[in-house]
Amino acid sequence: MSQLIEGFLGKSIDGKKSKMPAKLDYIQSATGLILGLFMWAHMFFVSTILVSDDFFDSVVHFLELKFIINSPMMSYITSFLAACVLVIFFVHAGLAMRKFPINFRQYQLCRTHLKYMNHGDSSLWWVQAATGFVMFFLGSAHLIFVITNADKISADMSGDRVVSHFMWLFYIALLICVELHGSIGLYRLCVKWGWFEGEDAKESRKKLKKAKWFISIFFLVLGVLSLAAFAKIGFNNYQNNSVAQIVKTYDGAKYEHTI
């Protein structure tokens, strides 16, 4: 009965409010911070392709601890880590959905509030909500692919996927959503919990917002360059494979065969 009363009034029978919303908010912030920092590390890892194909492959080799046991089975380390990230991702997304407008009336109220308040951080929340919605599908698909294909992570194989399967469209959309969502989320975490606030909170917020845009642009450029590097590898491999099969010799005669 006490839970029923609390469900209607928002308070228990002794007049105390539940601490559960605050706990859930804390978990949402914590999982968001973990995912944001992970994405930064992930982007720096992917960008090693800009150094060379071999360097990228050597980093994959190192992260999978193949310098200890050089076995294909070590790729399961990547699968395990990706599965952990996927669980954190689902927890974060599930908790974030609590704050989404769930019907048209709530959506109207949010839009009206945004229009008349003309508040920059509120606008950023809408961008974060929209990119988060898209990420739920694209991010889940990417992580599930990594879990089930951890043994196929290399410069050549990744390049082939980007070009041959038109995955560059998928990764461009995912890149934009991830970098915008992540940078806005980390900025809002700093504001919400008072990190780096200093003596002048207003001035600190301005600096945090500038840092947010710098980080967004930096990782977007880094991501596009990395994707272009994979596309170049995939295109070169595609051309080389095609050229190798174009000319076939039969009884001394040459025939052209287009792949």
CATH number at 52 reads: 1.20.1300.10
Residues 97 and 109: their CA atoms lie apart, in Å, by: 17
Number of independent structural domains in the chain: 1
Q: In which band, very low, low, confident or very high, does the pLDDT at 248 lie, cut at 50, 70 and 90?
A: very low
- Burial track 13-51 (b if 16+ CB lie within 10 A, e otherwise): eeeeeeeeeeeeeeebbebbebbbebbbeebeebbbbee
Q: In which band, very low, low, confident or very high, does the pLDDT at 252 lie, cut at 50, 70 and 90?
A: very low
Q: Which residue(s) pair with 247 in the sheet? A: 256
Residues 256 and 245: their CA atoms lie apart, in Å, by: 9
Does residue 248 lie in a domain region? no
Residues 172 and 154: their CA atoms lie apart, in Å, by: 19
Percent of all residues in the chain with a pLDDT value above 70, rounded to a whole number: 87
Nearest to 56 by CA among 236, 229, 174: 229
Q: Quickly tell me which residue has 């076995």 as its tokens.
A: 71
Does residue 23 lie in a domain region? yes
Percent of all residues in the chain with a pLDDT value above 90, rounded to a whole number: 54
The region, left, alpha or beta by phi > 0 then psi within -120 to 50, assigned to residue 110 is: alpha
Does residue 116 lie in a domain region? no
Q: Which of 99-103, 146-150, 226-230 has the lowest mean pLDDT?
A: 99-103
Where does 79-192 show beta strands of DSSP type E?
none
Q: Is residue 80's pLDDT more than 90?
A: yes
Domain that holds residue 180: 18-101+121-237
Q: How far is CA 32 from CA 46, 89, 190, in A?
A: 21, 8, 12
Does residue 217 lie in a domain region? yes
Give pLDDT, residue 99.
84
Does residue 108 lie in a domain region? no
Q: How far is CA 170 from the centre of its chain?
A: 12
Q: Is residue 95's pLDDT more than 90?
A: yes
Residues 75 and 148: their CA atoms lie apart, in Å, by: 10
Q: In which band, very low, low, confident or very high, does the pLDDT at 230 lie, cut at 50, 70 and 90?
A: very high
Does residue 55 lie in a domain region? yes
Does residue 6 lie in a domain region? no
Please give the model's pTM, rounded to 2 decimal places.
0.83
Does residue 115 lie in a domain region? no
Q: Is residue 120's pLDDT more than 80?
A: no
Give pLDDT, residue 243.
53
Q: Which residue(s) pair with 248 in the sheet? A: 255
